[in-house]
Amino acid sequence: MKALLRTQSRGIVAILVMLSVVTGLGVAVAQTEEGIAHHYSDKFEGKKTASGEIYDKAKLTAAHKKLPMGTKVKVTNVANNKSVVVTINDRMGASSKAVIDVTPRAAEELGFKGGETKVKLEVQK
Give the model's confidence band at 17: pLDDT under 50 very low, under 70 low, under 90 confident, else very high: very low
Question: At 114, which CATH number?
Answer: 2.40.40.10
35 and 10 share a domain? no
Integer-rounded Cα radius of gyration of the chain? 19
Q: Is 6 in the same domain as 49? A: no
Confidence of residue 113 (pLDDT cuts 50, 70, 90): confident
pLDDT digits (tens, 9 = 90+) for 38-51: 988 777 888 899 99
Pairing of strands 32-39, 100-102: parallel
Q: Is 41 helix (H, G, I), strand (E, B) or coil?
A: coil
The Cα–Cα gap between 84 and 56 comes to 16
Our count of domains for the chain comes to 2
Question: What is the domain range of residue 76?
Answer: 31-123
**pTM for this predicted structure:** 0.74
Query: Which residues make beta-bridge pairs with 84?
Result: 75
Cα within 13 Å of Cα(46), Cβ side: 1
Same domain, 24 and 71: no
Q: What are the residues whose beta carbons fall under 8 Å from the beta carbon of 7, sequence distance 6 or more? A: none
